[in-house]
Structure 1
Amino acid sequence: MKQMIALVGVFAYLSLLTVGGGMAAFPEMKYLTVDVFHWLTEDQLVHLYSIGQMAPGPNMMMIAGIGQWVAGPLGALAVTFGFFLPTGLLTLWVGRIWAHLSDWPWRASIQRALGTVSIGLLLAGVISIAKVAVVGVHGAAVAAAVFIILMITHMNPLPLMALAAVAGAYFFK
């Protein structure tokens, strides 16, 4: 029971950090799930995150995998509600207030600032996951190649993920 309460508490807290998307919460998720509670290793967390990126639907559904890993199906359910319910309720509440503040002079400034904050949080998440996922010269080369191709072509990343998987199988036997 203590484990379930800890799971719900951790993921309810993490849900409030997802300004700009789930990746924004990744550094804190890594800290809490790996370093504080020791529910996962860094590699396991990166693998679960990668599966969440490849699966259809919201990429943060990977949190259910963490709940499953720690406490079985009930843990997966608890983590999912713990993660999505607080943010959903907060969004509903803020949305209603935001509509009433349509003529407020600070509104545009707050919106611009939140965009900047979300980019900073996303960048922190990317750096956090790259420290674990990008291993060696080959890993850095694959990551750089995918980044450059996506910046130049704006193509669907699915074929690049398949090619990266093949490169990973070859380079990281």
Structure 2
Amino acid sequence: MSTFIDIAVLFGSLSLLSIGGGNAVLPDMHRQAVGQHHWMTSAQFADLFSISQTTPGPSILIVAMIGYGAGLSAGGVLYGIIGGVLAAICMVLPAASLVYTVTLFWQKAQESKLRKAVEKGFAPLTVGLILATSLVMSRAADHDWRAYLLTALCTLVFVRSSLNPLFVVGLAAFLGYLGVV
């Protein structure tokens, strides 16, 4: 039962901090799931993140996968399913409730100086959170200089060109298949 409470507290609190989307809180999610609760290793977390990003649907699918892993380690497949569902609900419900409530007042304050200040402040905050996510995921996934080099090259291609990302993903997968990375 304590694992389910830990899942609810972790994802309920992260839900309220996920400004810019669920990926913005991945560093803290990693810190707690790997370092504090020991539900998985850093490599397993990176694998779950990769899998969750390649599947169709919301990018926050990793939450259900972490909840499943936590429940699985606590008592088997049924606990895993309960953990996954609980994690997903706890990640969505608090933020959705807060957004709904704030939106009721936000619409009425279109010309407010406070609203404009908050909107200007959230943009750099969101960018910082996403950059922190990139760093944490790179450290978790990259294990030697070749992987770091491939990460840097892919980042350059994404930033400097309009090349279709599927081509870059396919090339990186092929290099992994060949054992280059």
Q: 2:158 aligns with which of 150, 157, 170?
A: 150
Deviations 1:7-66 (CA, angstroms, capped at 9, x unpaired): 111111111221112221011001110111111110111111111111111111111111
The aligned residue for residue 83 of structure 2 is 75
Q: Does the 8 Å contact 1:22/1:59 carry over to 2?
A: yes
- Structure 1 distance, partners of 2:9, 2:108, is 31
- Structure 2 distance, partners of 1:106, 1:14, is 25
- Structure 2 distance, partners of 1:36, 1:140, is 26
- Structure 2 distance, partners of 1:54, 1:19, is 22
The aligned residue for residue 88 of structure 1 is 96
Which residue identity lines up with residue 6 of structure 2 in the other structure? A
Which residue identity lines up with residue 179 of structure 2 in the other structure? F
- Structure 1 distance, partners of 2:35, 2:160, is 37
The aligned residue for residue 62 of structure 2 is 62
Is the aligned partner of 1:22 residue 2:30?
A: no
Offset of 1:167 from its aligned partner? 1.0
Offset of 1:172 from its aligned partner? 5.4
Q: Does the 8 Å contact 1:21/1:122 carry over to 2?
A: no
- Structure 1 distance, partners of 2:17, 2:50, is 20
- TM-score, structure 1 length as denominator? 0.93
Which residue identity lines up with residue 69 of structure 2 in the other structure? W
- Structure 2 distance, partners of 1:46, 1:36, is 16
Which residue identity lines up with residue 107 of structure 2 in the other structure? A
3-state SS, counterpart of residue 39 of structure 2: coil
Q: Which runs of 5+ in 2 are unaligned?
A: 72-79
- Structure 1 distance, partners of 2:83, 2:6, is 10
- TM-score, structure 2 length as denominator? 0.89
Which residue identity lines up with residue 64 of structure 2 in the other structure? A
- Structure 2 distance, partners of 1:156, 1:59, is 19
3-state SS, counterpart of residue 106 of structure 1: helix
Which residue identity lines up with residue 42 of structure 2 in the other structure? E
3-state SS, counterpart of residue 40 of structure 1: coil
Deviations 1:81-110 (CA, angstroms, capped at 9, x unpaired): 011111111111111111121221222121
- Structure 2 distance, partners of 1:62, 1:141, is 25
Moved more, 81-90 or 134-143: 134-143
Query: Please, what is the CA RMSD of the aligned residues?
Result: 1.4
The aligned residue for residue 168 of structure 2 is 160
